[in-house]
């Protein structure tokens, strides 16, 4: 699989910057003054105990939640909130904590929905089908087949995803996001509920996507061994506040992080 | 072993995307089309035309329309009768205002006018879902029928409130009015159903169809991957109404010839039967639209033949039995096979593939 458009990327440049993001639902303060930036080409992990605001953070990044205050700097624009459609168009794809696939459609069709924004034929040409629309359809099918090859989904190409086992559904969801050829891929607990073997597979897919497709990855995960192994940098949230950030080695020895995870002991 | 796909290799994505990827289906469909276009017109008589073929084709058209909206886009609608009335009255007004306009053109323009009305009544769908949307479309049903009954301009101030079709010809042969020969009305409907049936299938297997299904299955995820919910839902309403409008236009111009709106486009006369068609036939299936329409058109005839002619019940009793059996079948279908006749067909196909071996 090759992605021509980001062949010559510059590593280390900020691809998205979040400045002083706060988010509240009525009286509940989900995020308070969180700032961080994601560098191009890295695997960036957001960790924290339950209810720390990790998923809210992803929802802010792809425009599903509107932050109460703060700025998002992405694609050369500084905006106070994202729009889902703009995010999708400018290359942010995501997967969900609870699988959000189109259950009535086959694996192939699910992956093809990832190409919707890239299909340009108008309604009349689609109704006519033969000619340009068919050509376009075949072109995108070819791209989707590359994703299918990459994720080993050949056996379940025609199966409705509703009847697939959990681990495969997670993989199909990753595939749908990859079919969008995203610049940033947001993964919300991609390995939740998996056994060790499935986690290894998933980690391999995520790392390959990162290395070979040059996709920047923002990841939420609870399995610390996975996070410490695959991520380049980590930010730690607790009760909606940022309590630490840095390389895995630094986070491992950070006093505030250890306190948040293990509780503070009275000595 | 009848449905054996062994040896049928596909080397291009085009051939893999074909409507009938299997050779057997292709041949069966071709034979069906040859019979429909070149054999039936020569043997069709007035009874077959009026009682079975034309209503089947018109209901198929309406069922395809409703299936696009309800089966593929997941927006339940009870307004089919109202939208068919829009198609019928557009046809009537166009016919009386432009006497020289070709009938084919009139029917298609009626479809477009209905699409506009459909967009208007589809606007609430952004905010409301499921049962509540069904109630909103129910309101459109009653409003539209009331409108066509209340405003005399729509029926050209006639005393009875009836609208009556005048004769129109295609290639010199009348297709509307009392003088139209059976084969002409049949071929006229058949051509429209085949052309727009293919158009519908093509849309469903393209970008727009996948957008509809994405909205149906999980609208939040659809929005995240860049499917605009409002635009997609409204496009489903527009295209669905286009088909239903054409069905209404044919229902008036070709099938009935003269009608009165409260009677012909009543919710019990159109909206519910068409909804039953797509449920019995199969939600989200093109084949299902046709099977459902055939089922609903043929069942009363078969029941009547059986009960009145064979058993000797009076016509009124038979009618009562018919309604009961209908309701019973509806319940049985919903419980036993919620995916309808189309699913039964695909199960049968799977069995035929292996037959005579058990697996």
Q: Please state the pTM of the whole predicted model.
A: 0.89
Interface membership of A60 toward B (CB under 8 Å): no
**pLDDT in the model for residue A2:** 40
Q: What is the pLDDT of residues A45-78, one digit of tens each?
A: 999 888 888 889 998 998 888 888 888 888 778 8
The verdict on a CB contact (< 8 Å) between B210 and A134 is no
Number of domains in chain A: 1
Nearest CA in chain B to A85: B226
Residue B256 in contact with residue B84, Cβ under 8 Å?
no
Contacts of B341 by beta carbon, 8 Å cutoff, 6+ apart: B280, B281, B282, B288, B291, B292, B295
Confidence of residue B15 (pLDDT cuts 50, 70, 90): confident
User: Does any domain span residue A213?
Assistant: yes
Nearest CA in chain B to A121: B207
Asked if residue A4 has pLDDT above 60, the reply is no
**pLDDT in the model for residue A266:** 62
User: Does any domain span residue A148?
Assistant: no
Contacts of A229 by beta carbon, 8 Å cutoff, 6+ apart: A203
Strands A43-47 and A216-220: parallel
| Total number of residues shown for chain A | 267
User: Does any domain span residue A48?
Assistant: yes
Interface membership of B226 toward A (CB under 8 Å): yes
Percentage above 70 pLDDT, chain A: 94
Contacts of A209 by beta carbon, 8 Å cutoff, 6+ apart: A178, A185, A215, A217
Which DSSP string corresponds to B277-315? Answer: HHHHH-TT-HHHHHHHHHHHHHHHHHHHIIIIIII---H
User: Does any domain span residue A6?
Assistant: no
Judging contacts by C-beta atoms under 8 Å, the chain A residues touching residue B216 are 102, 104
The verdict on a CB contact (< 8 Å) between B226 and A88 is yes
Distance from CA of A152 to the nearest CA of B (A): 19
Domain extents for chain B?
Answer: 47-266
A–B: how many Cβ contacts below 8 A?
Answer: 100
Rounded to whole angstroms, how far apart are CA atoms B246 and B265? 14
User: Does any domain span residue A8?
Assistant: no
The verdict on a CB contact (< 8 Å) between A93 and B225 is yes
Q: What is the pLDDT of residues A105-121, one digit of tens each?
A: 999 999 999 888 888 88
Structure tokens that stand for B251 in this block = 């229902």
Q: What is the pLDDT of residues B164-222, one digit of tens each?
A: 888 888 888 888 887 888 888 899 999 999 999 999 999 998 889 999 999 999 888 88
Nearest CA in chain B to A103: B217
Mean pLDDT of chain B: 88
Query: Which domain does A257 fall in, by range?
Result: 14-91+182-262
Confidence of residue A267 (pLDDT cuts 50, 70, 90): low
Interface membership of B22 toward A (CB under 8 Å): no
User: Does any domain span residue A59?
Assistant: yes
**pLDDT in the model for residue B1:** 63
Judging contacts by C-beta atoms under 8 Å, the chain A residues touching residue B211 are 113, 116
The verdict on a CB contact (< 8 Å) between B202 and A133 is yes
Q: Residue A36: which CATH number? A: 3.40.50.300
Burial environment of residue B220 by CB neighbours within 10 A (0 to 12, 13 to 18, 19 or more): exposed
The verdict on a CB contact (< 8 Å) between A129 and B208 is no
Angle, nearest 10°, between helix axes B80-97 and B103-122? 140
Judging contacts by C-beta atoms under 8 Å, the chain A residues touching residue B284 are 104
Please indicate whether residue B46 or residue B146 has the higher confidence score (pLDDT).
B146
Rounded to whole angstroms, how far apart are CA atoms A209 and B101? 60
Residue B247 in contact with residue B62, Cβ under 8 Å?
yes
A108-117, B1-10, B265-274: least confidently modelled range: B1-10
């Amino acid at each position: 699989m090759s992605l021509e458009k980001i062949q010559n990327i510059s590593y280390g440049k900020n691809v998205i910057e979040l400045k002083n993001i706060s988010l509240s639902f009525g009286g509940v303060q989900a995020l308070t003054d969180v700032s961080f930036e994601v560098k191009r080409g890295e695997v960036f992990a957001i960790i924290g105990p339950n209810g720390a605001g990790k998923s809210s953070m992803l929802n802010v990044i792809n425009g599903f939640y509107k932050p109460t205050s703060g700025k998002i700097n992405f694609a050369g624009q500084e905006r106070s909130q994202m729009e889902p459609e703009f995010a999708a168009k400018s290359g942010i794809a995501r997967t969900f904590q609870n699988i959000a696939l189109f259950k009535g459609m086959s694996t192939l069709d699910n992956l093809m929905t990832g190409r919707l924004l890239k299909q340009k034929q108008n309604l009349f040409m689609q109704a006519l089908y033969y000619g340009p629309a068919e050509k376009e359809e075949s072109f995108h099918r070819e791209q989707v087949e590359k994703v299918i090859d990459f994720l080993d989904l050949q056996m379940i190409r025609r199966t409705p995803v509703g009847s697939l086992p959990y681990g495969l559904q997670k993989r199909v969801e990753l595939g749908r996001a990859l079919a969008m050829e995203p610049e940033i891929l947001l993964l919300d607990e991609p390995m939740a509920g998996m056994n060790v073997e499935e986690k290894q597979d998933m980690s391999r897919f995520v790392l390959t996507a990162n290395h070979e497709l040059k996709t920047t990855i923002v990841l939420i995960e609870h399995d610390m061994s996975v996070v410490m192994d695959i991520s380049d940098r980590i930010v730690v949230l607790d009760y909606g506040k940022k309590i630490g950030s840095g390389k895995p080695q630094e986070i491992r020895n950070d006093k505030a992080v250890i306190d948040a995870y293990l509780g503070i002991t009275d000595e | 072993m009848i449905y054996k796909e062994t040896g049928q290799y596909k080397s291009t994505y085009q051939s893999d995307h074909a409507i009938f990827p299997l050779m057997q289906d292709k041949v069966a469909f071709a034979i069906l089309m040859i019979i429909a276009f070149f054999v039936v017109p020569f043997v069709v008589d007035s009874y077959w035309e009026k009682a079975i073929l034309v209503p089947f084709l018109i209901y198929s058209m309406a069922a395809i329309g409703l299936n696009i909206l309800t089966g593929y886009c997941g927006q339940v609608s009870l307004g089919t009768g109202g939208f068919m009335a829009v198609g019928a009255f557009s046809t009537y007004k166009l016919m009386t205002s432009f006497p020289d306009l070709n009938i084919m053109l009139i029917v298609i323009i009626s479809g477009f006018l209905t699409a506009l009305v459909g967009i208007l009544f589809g606007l609430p769908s952004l905010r409301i879902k499921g049962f509540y949307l069904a109630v909103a479309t129910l309101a459109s049903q009653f409003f539209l029928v009331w409108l066509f009954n209340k405003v005399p301009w729509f029926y050209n101030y006639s005393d009875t409130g009836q609208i009556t079709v005048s004769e129109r010809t295609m290639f010199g042969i009348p297709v509307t009015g009392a003088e139209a020969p059976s084969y002409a009305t049949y071929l006229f409907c058949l051509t429209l159903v085949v052309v727009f049936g293919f158009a519908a299938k093509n849309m469903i297997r393209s970008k727009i169809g996948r957008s509809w299904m994405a909205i149906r299955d999980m609208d939040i995820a659809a929005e995240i991957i860049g499917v605009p919910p409002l635009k997609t839902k409204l496009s489903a309403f527009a295209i669905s109404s286009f088909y239903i409008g054409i069905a209404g236009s044919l229902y008036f111009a070709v099938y009935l010839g003269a009608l009165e709106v409260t009677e012909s486009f009543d919710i019990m006369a159109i909206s519910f039967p068409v909804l039953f068609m797509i449920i019995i036939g199969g939600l989200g299936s093109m084949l299902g639209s046709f099977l459902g329409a055939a089922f609903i058109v043929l069942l009363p005839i078969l029941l009547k033949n059986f009960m009145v002619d064979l058993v000797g019940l009076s016509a009124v009793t038979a009618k009562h039995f018919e309604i009961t059996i209908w309701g019973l079948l509806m319940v049985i279908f919903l419980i036993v096979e919620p995916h309808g006749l189309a699913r039964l067909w695909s199960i049968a196909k799977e069995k035929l593939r292996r037959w005579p071996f058990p697996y």
